[in-house]
Amino acid sequence: GAVVSQHPSWVICKSGTSVKIECRSLDFQATTMFWYRQFPKQSLMLMATSNEGSKATYEQGVEKDKFLINHASLTLSTLTVTSAHPEDSSFYICSASRDRGPGANVLTFGAGSRLTVL
Amino acid sequence: AQSVTQPDIHITVSEGASLELRCNYSYGATPYLFWYVQSPGQGLQLLLKYFSGDTLVQGIKGFEAEFKRSQSSFNLRKPSVHWSDAAEYFCAVGPFNTDKLIFGTGTRLQVFP
């Protein structure tokens, strides 16, 4: 089955530093990946859509300069939280879309990355 | 506006009891409907999905869901809950041509022995 790996699973950093989170599709090519943010006991909030070889599409209210997304290959997308602050602490989840067409609109999610900014 | 509502924030059931988690949606086009489960600190696992056809869909772990267009609902059911089913459950709706799912706020399920 389709597997999406996220790394690191948790990270603690100092305020002002940058943190990179990787999302890899292990056994399929993902032309599109999605990044979500989940606050405690809340639902997933879509941050951006990452398209291989092109710029990411950010949702309204998401700072593109704060959350840098790079989708350099068909199996890897990265999210970099720049100049992190305590309010950026959250659970970040990625998902990947494998195929297109009828019956293929199914996402595979990574296990998530918990970021704590001190 | 497109939205997903899960009216029950928290549900507690005894092991072996039946379960129904409610999901209502507001969507302008033909909806693609999903139920996901999330264990603490984990990502989301797909339980089942509905695209078309039979309105009663079977998923993994003994779960099923029924699409009722007239009620704009997609409720999740399980006849007998196991302690390992304790988790957060999310209903989601999406369009055909993108994967931008809209998630409900989730229902936390607790199971007592």
Contacts for A100 with CB less than 8 Å, ≥ 6 apart = none
Q: Do B51 and A103 touch (CB under 8 A)?
A: yes
Q: Do A41 and B108 touch (CB under 8 A)?
A: yes
Q: Do A44 and B99 touch (CB under 8 A)?
A: no
The per-residue pLDDT for range A56-110, each reduced to its tens digit, is 999 999 999 999 999 888 899 999 999 999 999 999 999 988 765 444 557 889 9
The DSSP call for residue B31 is P
Contacts for B99 with CB less than 8 Å, ≥ 6 apart = A32, A34, A95, A97, A105, A107
The per-residue pLDDT for range B45-79, each reduced to its tens digit, is 999 999 888 999 999 999 999 999 999 999 999 99
How many angstroms separate the CA of residue B38 from the nearest CA in chain A? 9
Token representation of residue B9 = 């924030």
